[in-house]
Amino acid sequence: MTAPILYTLCILAYLGLATWFWPGRPGCCRMDWVPRLLPVIPLVLHLYLLNAGVFSGEGIHLGFSTSISAVAALSVMTYAVASWRYHLAGLQGFVLAFAGVAVAIEAISPVSHAAIHSDMPAFQLHLAVAFAAYALFTIAALHALLIALAEKHLHKAVPPTIVADLPPLLTLEKLLFRMIQAGFVLLTLTLASGILFSEEIFGKALVWNHKTVFGIASWLIFAALLLGRRIKGWRGRTAIHWTLAGFISLMLAYVGVKFVLEVLLGR
């Protein structure tokens, strides 16, 4: 079966499931094993296509499209695992829709060049940890937006379906900070492994470029958020603003720059 057909099947499967899981739709609030297993079907195909795209030829090919696709795949995987422990209600629909769009972007984008030094174990470890952190913070940003939406309609007599079928605010907030805590650990490991990789290649621990600056900035933002949560009990809009600020800074560290260079400037 050719790649375009596989990409099309993956996109349709993701978007079809996203519609089924969307708040107010039949699969939104089901808690049996079926909705927990269904996302795994397109995820397996997604991982196959991602593997073919990232490891095509020599080295690791990580452009804007494959980076977004990798984050989306890890996000779906995280939700698929978390759904066995938490009642995620309509949250699955948002993640599956994001994954469908990410696969579509990857399908229409040209193959990127192999990353420099991507054959080195230190660099591969750094990438694996970094994308796991990106995935967790992507989910955290999604939760922050949904919490903001839910708070906006909290006191309405008849809230919109998209809000009414979400988990309780306290559950969303609990999941948000668990994602941030896990993501912060991975982000710390990302920066540490990046320092080791930099020292092995360039002979110095830190190379001051946009990745380093935005990466450290995002680490400081999330550190301040977790400290504020612990000391002052930050929640609500304060937590939302800090989460989104940290997420934007993290995306600018890598994916944002890739988007400007590859999509806008065509390099």
Structure confidence by residue, pLDDT tens digits, 188-217: 998 887 777 766 655 555 666 677 788 889
| Among 116, 148, 182, residue at a domain's last position | 116
- Is the domain of 125 the same as that of 161? yes
Is a pLDDT exceeding 90 seen at residue 222? yes
- Is the domain of 137 the same as that of 262? yes
Q: Residue 117: how many CB atoms within 10 A of its CB?
A: 14
For tokens 């609030």, what's the residue? Answer: 29
pLDDT higher at 160 or 53: 53
Categorize the per-residue pLDDT at 152 as very low, low, confident or very high, splitting at 50, 70 and 90: confident
What's the gap between Cα 47 and its chain centre?
15
| Among 86, 116, 146, residue at a domain's last position | 116
- Is the domain of 139 the same as that of 99? no
- Is the domain of 183 the same as that of 264? yes
Quote the crossing angle between the two packed helices 236-253 and 169-202, to the nearest 10°: 30
- Is the domain of 130 the same as that of 246? yes
| Among 116, 144, 160, residue at a domain's last position | 116
Supply the pTM of this predicted model. Answer: 0.78
Range of the domain at 98: 1-116
CB 96 within 8 A of CB 39: yes
What per-residue confidence (pLDDT) applies to 135? Answer: 83
- Is the domain of 68 the same as that of 152? no
Of the candidates 259, 261, 265, the one whose C-alpha atom is nearest the C-alpha of residue 102 is 259
- Residue 265 is inside which H or E element, if any? none
- Is the domain of 9 the same as that of 140? no
Report the domain count for the chain: 2
- Is the domain of 87 the same as that of 142? no
Q: What is the mean pLDDT of residues 132-142?
A: 87
| Count of positions (residues) in the chain | 267
What whole-number distance in Å separates Cα of residue 143 and Cα of residue 69?
Answer: 19
Categorize the per-residue pLDDT at 185 as very low, low, confident or very high, splitting at 50, 70 and 90: very high
- Is the domain of 71 the same as that of 135? no
Q: Which residues contact 47 (CB under 8 A, 6 or more apart)?
A: 73
- Is the domain of 173 the same as that of 90? no
- Is the domain of 125 the same as that of 221? yes
Q: What is the mean pLDDT of residues 103-121?
A: 72
- Is the domain of 128 the same as that of 98? no
Q: Which residues contact 53 (CB under 8 A, 6 or more apart)?
A: 61, 66, 69, 106, 111
